[in-house]
Chains A and B, each alone.
Chain A
Amino acid sequence: MVLLDNARKRLRSVLDEIGRISEFEFPYEGSRAALDLIKKLFDNRLTSLNQFTTQSDQGVIRQTCVMTLQEVDVYLPLLGFIVRSTNVRNAFEIFRPLQRMAGAVLEPGTAQNSRQTELVVSSEWMYSPFIFRAVPGLPGFVLIGLPSPESSNPLLVPLAGHELGHSVWVVTALGVQTTLDRLVYDKVAEVIINRWSEYQQAFPTIQIAPDELHSDLAAMETWEPAGVWAVSQVEETFCDFLGLRLFGTSYLEAFAYLLAPVIPGERSRFYPNTLARIASLVTAANAYKVPVPPGYQGQFEDNACPTLNRPDGFLLSVADEAVQNVVPQIIAEAERIVAASGIPASTPAQVDKIFRRFELVVPAEGCLGLPDILNAAWRAYRDPSFWMGNAQVEQKKDETLKELVLKNIEIFEIEQILGVRP
């Protein structure tokens, strides 16, 4: 019963902490709703534990304790994430426009006031922006974190488009994963068949004909890692394209600001290597007619490849090639998702209109979308002569621009609430 006693005490500690967190100042209801759901989950689990008696089956008790510990392990980082979502370092103004965008993308065809999508935007103590994917206890929640030192920087909001892509990926009804999974697995097999002699050298014990690649169990086991890596790379590429299609050039700029020239460390097999990733982004930008900043690709460099044995080296190169072969289909999938959402693409005319207002150090009214505001912001940020000669703001251009952009985003949101039409 020591096991059970410890499990109960652990849960009470978690619930006490949730109680303390619930007294925080919550900027928006998404964070509180997530906290309430987690509390409910742990309340239910504690109730289950409390129902055990000395007569209960020890195996069942042990198994329940394991599950309880797993849940604490899963949800504790989420509680930290929720806590950080309340920190005033965050740019709370971006919350509602992002939530509206997430709802439109994840629930196309559903009326705005009927959408179930909940959003938690937080700051993270890991540099690379990330998302908690498909948390079982939080259905319909999109959880997006930006690195803490940049969480008040509206110029990086476009990266939320990438994180939103991961949510799109797991929504079965949207069909992206199903479509691209199958496609990339087929491409992996196709690439292996095209490079058959290399495959035979990498796996000399497999003595099959190319047409047995899909049916021979031992052979399937050999190339399974390439499929897994390729699928993960396709997911990342899709997320890049979704962010790009939603936010236009500002996505490219934000991506370079945060990640160029390269994230330190060895190349991950689950991501395309940096230069290939950027080349794909540029291909997609051309397809979407998104202007690419001059010298963009030159900002980046590849990660060093890990030392791999011959089979793994071959499989990784196969995965990379397969992903490159499905780039056109990924471009089409991101386009399909954004078109269905009804979110208008950023236009040069709108961006120019907002930029002209920024020149006067005032926010623009009557904006059509968040991407236009962010593209105008990046244009101003990149322009070395912007506000030159304006004594009040010249020396603090970056700070003032961020403040102005956040105020513009807030005004855009107010106009959406009040139904103000340009």
Chain B
Amino acid sequence: MILKSDRLAELLRKGNSGTDGDPLVIAPMLSELKELAASGSGSVDLRLGTWFMTLREARMGHLEIDKPDGQTKLTKSHFVRFGAEYFLHPQSFVLGATLEWIRVPMNLAAYVIGKSSWGRRGLIIATATGVHPGFKGCLTLELSNVGELPVAIKPGMEICQLFFHTVDTTDNAVDKSTLGGLRRPTLGKVAEDLIAKRLADAYKHPQQQPPSSPPARPSSPLPPVENS
């Protein structure tokens, strides 16, 4: 069930002032909660932060998503102060972060959605949109310009919106996301996909295998598969 603005405003009012329990927090909360409550919408608007991250294209032939390359090798950070602009050209991509630090309680989850006014001008925001229960930190935004004209994006501007949903149960709910607790955008780590690895290994030519060491069996919940 999507939370409506009056319920959101009530949760935020409690969360932004209290020190106990498992509150919903969005800080800084620059919109008036009264206005949010009265808006009748189903979301909270978030603003663009000051940190950005771009890929160092010249350093790689291509991006292998499952290779544990260091973030600093692949990416470059940029700081754009309030009042300055970042020009996102057509077909360009940059990671940004929300200005707001979010704390999602265990009984809620959220989705990041772009603002339609930006989408119609070619600016697409956040393709990995789920925010899990227990998340804490600034949200990394994937910003891309699919339009025809460069777009000037400015720290502090409203950039996206969060829709909150209730979660059925909080039993055994422990958030172990590695993406939280950060104020800057992050690539995050891609967990090793053992199934994909075993499938790929099965099709490797024998001469490509290391001669002295037998192939390691990754630990997996699935039973071992014999390659005939």
1/0 per residue B59-92: CB within 8 Å of A?
0000000000000000001110110000000000
**Which one of A359, A362, A418 lies within 8 Å of B101 (CB-CB)?**
A362
Interface size of B as a range:
20 to 34
**Which one of B19, B29, B137 lies within 8 Å of A356 (CB-CB)?**
B19
Residues from chain A with a CB closer than 8 A to the CB of B181 are 361, 392-393, 396, 399-400, 403-404
Residues from chain A with a CB closer than 8 A to the CB of B8 are none
B138 to A, closest residue via Cβ: A407
**Cα–Cα, bound, A417→B28 (Å):** 13
Interface residues of A in 357-381 (CB under 8 A from B): 357, 359-365
Asked if B94 is at the interface (CB within 8 A of a chain A CB), the reply is: no
Q: B120-128, B171-179, B198-206: which one contacts chain A?
A: B171-179
Interface residues of B in 104-160 (CB under 8 A from A): 134-138
Contact A27 B30 (CB under 8 A): no
Asked if B25 is at the interface (CB within 8 A of a chain A CB), the reply is: yes
B19 to A, closest residue via Cβ: A356
Contact A92 B136 (CB under 8 A): no
Residues from chain A with a CB closer than 8 A to the CB of B136 are 361-362, 392-393
**Which one of A92, A357, A414 lies within 8 Å of B81 (CB-CB)?**
A92
**Which one of A27, A365, A391 lies within 8 Å of B27 (CB-CB)?**
A365
**Which one of A353, A364, A403 lies within 8 Å of B182 (CB-CB)?**
A403
A88 to B, closest residue via Cβ: B77
Asked if A415 is at the interface (CB within 8 A of a chain B CB), the reply is: yes
B179 to A, closest residue via Cβ: A392
Interface residues of A in 6-65 (CB under 8 A from B): 25, 27-28
Interface residues of A in 385-422 (CB under 8 A from B): 391-393, 396, 399-400, 403-404, 406-407, 410-411, 414-415, 417-418, 420
- Interface residues of chain A: helix, strand, loop or mixed (majority): helix
Residues from chain B with a CB closer than 8 A to the CB of A92 are 50, 79, 81
Interface residues of B in 1-59 (CB under 8 A from A): 16, 19, 23, 25, 27-30, 50
Contact B103 A361 (CB under 8 A): yes
Residues from chain A with a CB closer than 8 A to the CB of B137 are 400, 403
**Cα–Cα, bound, A294→B189 (Å):** 40
**Cα–Cα, bound, A77→B102 (Å):** 41
Asked if B185 is at the interface (CB within 8 A of a chain A CB), the reply is: no
Q: Which residue numbers of B lie inside 8 Å of A, CB to CB?
A: 16, 19, 23, 25, 27-30, 50, 77-79, 81-82, 99, 101, 103, 134-138, 174-177, 180-184
Given contacts A88-B79, A392-B177, A410-B50, 13 further A-B contacts (CB under 8 A): A92-B81, A357-B19, A360-B19, A365-B29, A391-B174, A391-B175, A391-B176, A392-B134, A392-B135, A392-B175, A396-B181, A403-B183, A411-B28
Q: Could you write out 20 A-B pairs with CB less than 8 Å apart?
A: A25-B78, A28-B81, A88-B78, A92-B81, A357-B19, A359-B19, A360-B25, A362-B27, A363-B101, A365-B16, A365-B28, A399-B181, A400-B182, A403-B137, A403-B183, A404-B101, A404-B181, A407-B138, A407-B183, A414-B28
